[in-house]
Amino acid sequence: GGGAALASTIVELRVPRVLLAALVGGGLALAGATFQALLRNPLAEPYILGISGGAATGAVAVLALGLTTLGSWALPLAAFAGALLAILLVFGVAASADRRLDVRVLLLAGVVVGAFFSAAIAMILALAEARTVRSAVLWMMGSVAGASWSDVGVAAAYTLPAALILLGLARPLNLLSVGEESAAYLGADVESVKRTAYVVASLVTAAGVAVAGVIGFVGLVIPHALRLVVGSDHRVLLPLSLLVGATFLVLADLGARTLLGSTEIPIGVVTAFVGVPVFLVLLRRSMT
């Protein structure tokens, strides 16, 4: 009986947790590498277009309205819907003028949409009960603690196809990093590559946030660090980002679970504590 119980505990609790951390970490790092290529900015990260704000607004609204009683799917679904809304708003603003995606407009739209959702979250939390506020804050710090097989399914359904699509775009992304005119001259369909890559990277980010909350620094530090180590050939950089991001988040989750003994820390706290010093070192190195 004891052996069977242990086995079922491992299969029901530990395995989904490790798989979810790997899928979300890999997805975020891959999305980060893609955004850094598209925006030609090594400091871009997956939440730059306001996706985390949209997702957090959806999640916080569900917590505040007590809709979690509807089932375990309510919160991830609302978070995903919020992230989609953010994506639609940002692209709606950036592509309204002449159907071409202007990077500067996209970034500004991301900042404005992010600010709007931050205000929405602040308002909901100001009106909510203390218990809700605590749940919301913990959710926003990210966690894979309650991972279920259905969460793993959601993350896999987005991360794996997205990985294939983005890895397929590695060569056009290499061309884009030279500059849009040169890329077009060398035969890349610039607008279609940009649109596909933005949407796919955004959806991966949205799915990750929906099932694990807002986990910072994975999508920023990992692709940035790898770029300094292996260079910026996306045929190497993208698959490595996927693998290293997955490994990093699994290890961060192990830290979140074990560092304080019986008390679990949110995984986003671990990634930030590791990410900030690493990032500062990288920043110093890139200046010299």
Distance, in Å, from the CA atom of 43 to the CA atom of 50, rounded to the nearest integer, reads: 15
Domain assignments of the chain as residue spans, ordered by start: 14-287
CATH no., domain 14-287: 1.10.3470.10
Q: Is residue 181 classed as helix, strand or coil in its secondary structure?
A: helix
Q: Which residue has the tokens 């980002």?
A: 241
User: In angstroms, what CA-CA distances link 238 with 6, 68, 137, 207?
Assistant: 37, 36, 32, 19
Query: Quick one: tokens of 65?
Result: 């309205």
Within 95-217, residue ranges assigned H as helices are 103-127, 130-140, 149-168, 170-178, 180-185, 190-212
State the pTM of this model.
0.91
Distance, in Å, from the CA atom of 10 to the CA atom of 222, rounded to the nearest integer, reads: 29
pLDDT, one tens digit for every residue, the chain (288 residues):
678 888 877 777 789 999 999 999 999 999 999 999 998 888 889 999 999 999 999 999 999 998 988 888 889 999 999 999 999 999 888 876 566 777 888 889 999 999 999 999 999 999 999 989 999 999 999 999 889 898 999 999 999 999 999 999 999 999 888 788 888 877 778 888 988 999 999 999 999 999 999 998 999 999 999 998 899 999 999 999 999 999 999 999 999 999 998 889 999 999 999 988 988 888 788 777
Cβ distance 213 to 39 under 8 Å?
Answer: no
190 torsion bin: left (phi>0), alpha (psi -120 to 50), beta (else): alpha
Amino acid (one-letter) located at 253 = D
Buried b (16+ CB within 10 A) or exposed e, 26-59: bbbbbbbbbbbbbbeebebbbbbbbbbbbbbbbb
Amino acid (one-letter) located at 75 = L
Taking the chain, what is the end-to-end CA distance rounded to the nearest angstrom? 61
Query: Quick one: tokens of 50?
Result: 């306001």
Distance, in Å, from the CA atom of 56 to the CA atom of 82, rounded to the nearest integer, reads: 7
